[in-house]
Amino acid sequence: MVRSGGVVAFDRVGETLTNRRTASSGGEYPCHLTVHGSVVVAANYRTGSIGIIERSEGSGASAVLQHRGSVQTTGGGPRPEQEGPHAHSSLFVDDHTLVTLDLGADRIRIFDYRNFALTPVDEVVLPAGFGPRDIVARPNNVFFVLGELGLGVIVYEWRDREFHQLCAISLPEARDGDHASAIAISPDSRHAYLGVRGSNLIAVLTIAEDGRSVAPLTAVSCEGDWPRHLVQHENVLHVSNQFSNTVASFRRHTLCESPMVFDVRDRLLK
């Protein structure tokens, strides 16, 4: 839910979603959820707040949601999109450490998590205007952070309860005014795929054998308009193109060939 600041849980029965349960997201314009055991973390873009929601089993519903509080962040950046804090995603490094990305304030925020409460413990200041949007965990405590506005990737190692930068690169063929969107990793962990909205590309990076660095490889058309999200499933990369209302599916190792393209509306109606 975008404007209402709510998180909704459904039961799935066959092809039907039933028994909706709703809880406050702890802010406005929630854009990302992280589920970790009995806690759901909501990143609220507009208000920059982090909502904490308890998820518990209940009769007649797979998840009963209860809002347990939120943490308000502050700050901003040099770009027009950074007029204030904009929480965009989160990830648990371990059971008691939550990491969040603040696109508006150019920060990786680190929280201690205990019993549905967050306590700020540290933060990483990113390059001004980088606009961190997406983060993925890799083996051996390595993390890839994507900058929506800076159009780049920074690779970090989590060591001694701190992030240590390993490398940083720009996305191939991305241009000023583009917006990066999401990261997907190939099944063999040798390539990273990243959406570039505006130029409407999928940027492809090569991941080093040890996973600790990346290098630009190529960029190909996303076969649509405004690639907002990417999902790697088995040997196929699915790209959801927001403005063209299509999903383009690329077979692994043939990303430069013409992909299969599906119209979202047609698929949903069948």
Domains and their CATH numbers in the chain: 1-126 (2.130.10.10), 130-270 (2.130.10.10)
* Residue whose tokens read 């943490």: 71
What pLDDT score does 192 carry?
A: 97
DSSP 199: T
Nearest in space to 22 (alpha carbons), one of 40, 46, 38: 40
Tokens of 260: 């299969």
Query: CA of 261: how far to CAs of 9, 156, 228, 266, in Å?
Result: 30, 35, 15, 11
Tokens of 171: 């996305």
Q: How crowded is the C-beta side of 75, counted as CA atoms within 13 Å?
A: 23
Tokens of 160: 């001694």
What pLDDT score does 103 carry?
A: 98
Q: Give the helix/strand (H/E) hosting 191.
A: strand 191-197
Low-confidence ranges of the chain (pLDDT < 70): 1-4, 58-62, 253-260, 262-270
Whether 56 and 40 have beta carbons less than 8 Å apart is answered as no
User: CB under 8 Å, gap of 24 or more: what pairs does 234-240 form?
Assistant: 234/187, 235/187, 237/184, 237/186, 237/193, 237/202, 239/195, 239/202, 240/264
What pLDDT score does 99 carry?
A: 98
Beta-strand pair 132-138/117-125: unpaired
Nearest in space to 230 (alpha carbons), one of 269, 192, 188: 192
This prediction has a pTM of: 0.93
CA torsion through residues 223, 267, 245, 41, sign:
negative
DSSP 254: -
Q: Please list, in sequence order, all residues whose beta carbon lies within 8 angstroms of the beta carbon of residue 131, skipping any fewer than 6 positions away.
A: 77, 79, 81, 82, 103, 104, 106, 147, 148, 149, 150
Q: How crowded is the C-beta side of 1, counted as CA atoms within 13 Å?
A: 16
